[in-house]
Structure formats: structure tokens, C-alpha cells
């Protein structure tokens, strides 16, 4: 794979990249309709897939080919095969009001139980194991709702009752507070994590989806739109979009900038309370990994470069540039190897002796540290890209920086499969 092919998406990144096409059907949880409905990705037709539930919530298609669905009212988790045949999976024991399931890296199913305040691991034969609860966590877990794993196997939990995000290491049972949301969380629901260290959480009591940096716990509004009524479940598609269901019977998709597209809406089966796509699990293993140290500019602010969503063949993702001098002109350096080359009293973190290139940039904004831009792009749909890395760094003209150039950290785009 030559650098021109690998970097083709970046070369066109100054224009908005379209979302990658969806080629798999969606499976919608509809409590009022008593079941799971199939939404045809091509025609938009909504048809029954598996009926007979009471309050089905956030499910997941697992790697064994079954759709696992918690039913809050029946106090059980069921599995549904690809033909729509329902079979019991887990009930009783630690389970009373299960609301979300997620598959762990080892294949077991993890369940959050809202009112008993527990996280449970369930083996393929239905055997239950307590992972964490409210008492043992000293209240860090309180009314767990949405759950989701990161690529390191840490389980993140939205606390619907105390409006926080917590995490648990399933191997040790250690729990900790990730974020209080800075006042932005209100009845948090589903969570989704990407390869860039971002956690996205819906808020059932608002029209808002919040983005949280899991490393710092800092929260910001990703989208707040009155047409999104009580968003609940959220999944990150392998195609590079967030899929969200809502109380007003919508399935929407969001690109890495938060731009919204309504995929479908049908109120005949009542509120939509969950979405799952067969091919979206396991998730893309791609990561954005920061490395090196940037050079500060105006206001003694060091610019940063990060990624949104996950770098994966055929997926849409984005690079996010922050902390530059507002209105500055600059460049994105990209190459196939990292570097450590002294340059303008800083360090050039892309190897310019190997094949590399530059993309001109403008950082909109006014004032020190206010130059920001997000560039979206779509990776070639080529499986041979898995395991390939691209290295990038941003530079900008800045009279207040050493020798007139501020620089971001380096960022490795490690493309996953």
C-alpha cells in the first residue's frame, strides 16, 4: 500500500466527507410494540423480527451470531438467532431489572441491572457472576444503565440515577468515577466508545448527546437538537457513525462533527429504545494514539491533535485540531513513520526522510488558543489496510511561538480491522 493510496482520504479532507454507506439492516427495540423490529437498510421497511417481549432495551449482536436482548419487566436476558427464534439465556440470580447488555472481549455477556445496581457477567451457559455493585463500589455505581467496552477491555457505565459515568475493570472488580459530566448529564442512557479516547453518552431527560474525554473526564456537548427527543441507546457503527434511537421513534446517525441525518422514523410501534447491527460487533480495533510533545504558541498554549471515532477500513473518522492561534495558517504533515527531528525550536514528529506530504490548513477562530478545525474523511474500504499506521502532526504560523511556529503533538492513526 503506497502512501498516496493510504493518504487519499486526507488529501480530500478539506471538503466534508460523506458518511460511509450502510449495508446492513438495523434491529430496533420497541417496548410498546412488544419486540424487536428489523429496519431494512436499503428500503426503509420496518417489519417484526421477534415478538413477545415486555420492555426490551439495549441489545447487541454478539460474535456467536445471536442478538442478546434484556427485558426490564421480565427480569431476564434472551438470545435471538438470525431467524428470529427467541431462547432464554439468563434470569433470576443477580438479575431483576436488566436494561443493557454488552459483549466482553472474552465473549461473555455483561448486563447492567438498573434498580438493583449491579453489573453481571454471564457465561455462554447462563452462569452468572457479580462484577460490581453499588455497595462494593462505595456508590460509584448507582443505577447503572448503558454500558460499553473500550478497546482495552474496561467497561464504562452510565449511572442513570446519580448522572455520572463510572468504569469497572472486569478482571479485578475495581471501579472508579470517570466523569460527573460537569452538569451536562441528565438521566444518562447509552454509551459508546471509540478508538480516540472519546465516550459518547445519550441523555434521556434532554435532547442532548455528550462527549467525554475518558482520560480527563472533561465533558462537552456533542449535539443538542430539539428534534432528538429523549435519546436512549447509542452505538458506534463500523462504518463510522453514531447510531441513536429516540423516544419520538427515530433512528438517527451522527458523523464525527455531530452533524445529524435521520435514517428513519415510524411512530406506529411506539418509542424506539435500542438499536443493533449484526456486523458492528466486535468493534473496529483501530486507534488514534497521541505521541510526542508539541510547541506552545500564543498564550503559552500548546496545540493538540486528536481523533474522533475509529480508524478502520471503509469507516468515516476525523482529525480534531485545537489550541492554535485563531486565524493562523498552517500545514498537516503526514507520513508512514514517526520522527523526532529538531525543527524551529520544536520537534517534527513525522519522518520526512520517508515518503511524506503536507496539506495546507487554516485554523478558524479569534485569539490565542481559539484556532480550531475538524476534518472528516473516509478510509478506503480495503482490508489490507488493517495494521497499517499513518503518522500526522499539525504546524501553524504563530508570532508568539519559538521562531514563529507552534506545533501539535504527533498522532498515530493505527488502522484496525
**What is the spatial distance between Cα 401 and Cα 23, in angstroms, rounded to a whole number?**
48
Q: Tell me: pLDDT of 267 over 90.
A: yes
* DSSP per residue, 352-366: SSSSEEEEEEEE-SS
Question: What is the distance between the alpha carbons of residues 25 and 46, in angstroms, rounded to a whole number?
Answer: 10
Q: What is the pLDDT of residues 321-375, one digit of tens each?
A: 999 999 999 999 999 999 999 999 999 999 998 888 999 999 999 999 999 999 9
Please determine whether the domains at 3-15+286-414 and 26-276 fall in the same fold group of CATH: no
The pLDDT-based confidence of 11 (bands split at 50, 70, 90) is very low
* Average pLDDT value for residue range 220-234: 98
* pLDDT at position 1 over 70: no
Separation between Cα atoms, residue 94 and residue 90, nearest integer Å? 10
Domain extent listing, the chain: 3-15+286-414, 26-276
Contacts of 17 (CB under 8 A, 6+ apart): 9, 316, 376, 377, 378
**Do residues 310 and 236 touch, judged by C-beta distance below 8 A?**
yes
Model pLDDT, residue 18: 55
pLDDT value of position 385? 93
Quote the CA–CA distance of 405 and 398 in Å, as a whole number: 5
Question: Residue 8: helix, strand or coil by DSSP?
Answer: helix
Please compute the mean of the pLDDT values over residues 47-61 and round it to a whole number: 98
Q: Helix, strand, or coil here: 300? A: helix
Instruction: Return the H-helix or E-strand segment holding 261.
Output: strand 260-265
Task: Give the separation between CA 146 and CA 299, rounded to whole angstroms.
Answer: 40
Position 135 pLDDT exceeds 60: yes
Mean pLDDT of 126-155: 97
Phi and psi, residue 11, nearest 5° = -65, -25
Burial of 216 (0-12, 13-18, 19+ CB in 10 A): exposed
Q: What percentage of the chain reaches a pLDDT higher than 90?
A: 93
Given its phi and psi angles, is residue 34 left (phi above 0), alpha (psi -120 to 50 degrees) or beta? left
Q: What does the chain come to in residues?
A: 417
pLDDT at 13: 44
Q: Could you give the maximum distance between any two Cα atoms of the chain, in Å?
A: 69
pLDDT at 19: 55
Specify the pLDDT at position 355: 87
The model carries a pTM of 0.95
What order of strands is seen across the sheet that includes strand 260-265? 231-236, 242-246, 250-254, 260-265
Q: Is the pLDDT of residue 259 over 80?
A: yes
CA angle 202, 284, 61 (to 5 degrees): 65
CATH fold of the domain at 26-276:
Neuraminidase (2.120.10)
Q: Per-residue pLDDT tens for 302-317?
A: 999 999 999 999 999 9
The tens digit of pLDDT for each residue in 197-226 reads: 999 999 999 999 999 999 999 999 999 999
Considering the four listed CATH numbers 1.10.10, 3.40.50, 2.40.50, 2.60.40, the one that applies to the domain covering 3-15+286-414 is 2.60.40
Q: What is the mean pLDDT of residues 111-120?
A: 97
Q: Residue range 42-68: average pLDDT?
A: 97
Amino acid at each position: 500500500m503506497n502512501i498516496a493510496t493510504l493518504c487519499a482520504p486526507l488529501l480530500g479532507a478539506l471538503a466534508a466527507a460523506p458518511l460511509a454507506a450502510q449495508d446492513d439492516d438495523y434491529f430496533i427495540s420497541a417496548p410498546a410494540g412488544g419486540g424487536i423490529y428489523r429496519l431494512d437498510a436499503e428500503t426503509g421497511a420496518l417489519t417484526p423480527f421477534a415478538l413477545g417481549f415486555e420492555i426490551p432495551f439495549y441489545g447487541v449482536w454478539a460474535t456467536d451470531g445471536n442478538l442478546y436482548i434484556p427485558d426490564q419487566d421480565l427480569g431476564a436476558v434472551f438470545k435471538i438467532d438470525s431467524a428470529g427464534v427467541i431462547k432464554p439465556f439468563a434470569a433470576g440470580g443477580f438479575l431483576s431489572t436488566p436494561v443493557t447488555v454488552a459483549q466482553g472481549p472474552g465473549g461473555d455477556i455483561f448486563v447492567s441491572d438498573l434498580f438493583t445496581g449491579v453489573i453481571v457477567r454471564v457465561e455462554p451457559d447462563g452462569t452468572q457472576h457479580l462484577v460490581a455493585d453499588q455497595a462494593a463500589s462505595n456508590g460509584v455505581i448507582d443505577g447503572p444503565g448503558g454500558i460499553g467496552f473500550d478497546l482495552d477491555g474496561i467497561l464504562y457505565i452510565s449511572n442513570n440515577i446519580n448522572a455520572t459515568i463510572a468504569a469497572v475493570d472486569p478482571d479485578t472488580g475495581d471501579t472508579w468515577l470517570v466523569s460527573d459530566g460537569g452538569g451536562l448529564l441528565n438521566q444518562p442512557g447509552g454509551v459508546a466508545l471509540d478508538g480516540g479516547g472519546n465516550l459518547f453518552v445519550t441523555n434521556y431527560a434532554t435532547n442532548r448527546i455528550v462527549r467525554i474525554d475518558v482520560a480527563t473526564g472533561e465533558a462537552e456537548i456533542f449535539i443538542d437538537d430539539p428534534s432528538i427527543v429523549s435519546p436512549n441507546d447509542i452505538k458506534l457503527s463500523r462504518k463510522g457513525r453514531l447510531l441513536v434511537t429516540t423516544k419520538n421513534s427515530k433512528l438517527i446517525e451522527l458523523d464525527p462533527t455531530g452533524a445529524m441525518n435521520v435514517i428513519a422514523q415510524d411512530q406506529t410501534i411506539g418509542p424506539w429504545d435500542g438499536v443493533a447491527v449484526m456486523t458492528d460487533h466486535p468493534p473496529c480495533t483501530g486507534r488514534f494514539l497521541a505521541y510526542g510533545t508539541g510547541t506552545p504558541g500564543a498564550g503559552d498554549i500548546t496545540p493538540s491533535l486528536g481523533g474522533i471515532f475509529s480508524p478502520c477500513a471503509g469507516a468515516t473518522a476525523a482529525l480534531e485540531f485545537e489550541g492554535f492561534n485563531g486565524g493562523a495558517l498552517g500545514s498537516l504533515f503526514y507520513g508512514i513513520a514517526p520522527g523526532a527531528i529538531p525543527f524551529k525550536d520544536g520537534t517534527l514528529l513525522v519522518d520526512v526522510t520517508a515518503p511524506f506530504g503536507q496539506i495546507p490548513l487554516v485554523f478558524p477562530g479569534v485569539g490565542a488558543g481559539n484556532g480550531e478545525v475538524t476534518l472528516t474523511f473516509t478510509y478506503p474500504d480495503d482490508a489490507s489496510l488493517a495494521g497499517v499506521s499513518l503518522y500526522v502532526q499539525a504546524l501553524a504560523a504563530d508570532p508568539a511561538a519559538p521562531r514563529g511556529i507552534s506545533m501539535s503533538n504527533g498522532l498515530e492513526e493505527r488502522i484496525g480491522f
